[in-house]
Amino acid sequence: MAFGRTIEEALQKAVRSLEVDMYFGFKEWSKDEIMDILRHPTHERMFVIYYALQNGMPADEISRITNIDPFFIKKIQNIIDAEGTLKVDISPDNLKKAKRMGFSDERIAFLSGKTREEINDIRRRHGIIPTYKMVDTCAAEFAAATPYYYSTYEDQCEISSSARKKVLIIALVLFASGRELNLTTVQSMQ
C-alpha cells in the first residue's frame, strides 16, 4: 500500500514497495511483446506502458488497447516528463517537484548523474524535507484514536507533538542456519 498527495507519488511509492527489483525503465520489450502485454495484462503491464510511452506510442492508443482511462496513462507520462527534466536540470524547484511526484533520492541521483548523498545534501540545503500527513481512518466521523501518517513533500505537516513520553522500538530479525533470532530493543525517550 502506498500513500501520496499525487497519483504519481503514490504510484512511484507503490512500485518501490514491491521490492522485486522492477522499476520504470528496468527492461526493454520488442514491439510484439509490447502489444501482447498491453492486450493481456501481466505483472509487467504498467512497466510496458511506461516503456511504450517513453518510446513514442501515443497515450490514446495505449488507452484504446488496454481500456485504461487516459487520465492514468497521463500520470505515467508525467513521470517520464519529470525524468527528462531531472536529466538536465536539478534546480531546487525541479527537485521539489520531483519529490512531490514521489521520486526517491536514489532515482533522482541515477537520472542526474549524481550520488544519492549529493541529492540528499542539495535537498536539505534548500529546505526540501518530508512532512507528514494523517490518514483519516475514521472517515471524518470522529477523531481517530490511533491515526497513522505517511511522508510526503508538502508545506504543512499534520503531526502535532506532545509532551508525553516516547518509546522507540527497534526490532531486528536474523535468519542464521535456518533459525530465526529475534533481537528487540525498547528504549524510553524523554
Separation CA 107–CA 120 (nearest Å): 11
**Structural domain that includes position 140:** 132-189
> The CATH number of the domain where 22 resides is what?
1.10.1030.10
Asked if residues 83 and 108 have their Cβ atoms less than 8 Å apart, the reply is no
- Tens of pLDDT along the chain (190 residues) come to 788 899 999 999 999 988 787 788 888 999 999 999 999 999 999 999 999 999 999 999 999 999 999 999 999 999 999 999 999 999 999 999 999 999 999 999 999 999 999 999 999 999 999 998 888 777 778 877 777 888 899 888 887 777 888 777 776 655 555 555 555 555 555 4
Q: Looking at the domain assignment, is residue 2 inside a domain?
A: no
pLDDT at 93: 96
pLDDT at 89: 96
The per-residue b/e assignment along 16-47, b for 16 or more CB within 10 angstroms, e otherwise, is: eeeeeeebbbeeebeeeebeebbeeeeeeebb
Q: How many structural domains compose the chain?
A: 2
pLDDT at 119: 97
- pTM for this one? 0.81
> Do 17 and 91 fall within a single domain?
yes
Burial of 97 (0-12, 13-18, 19+ CB in 10 A): middle
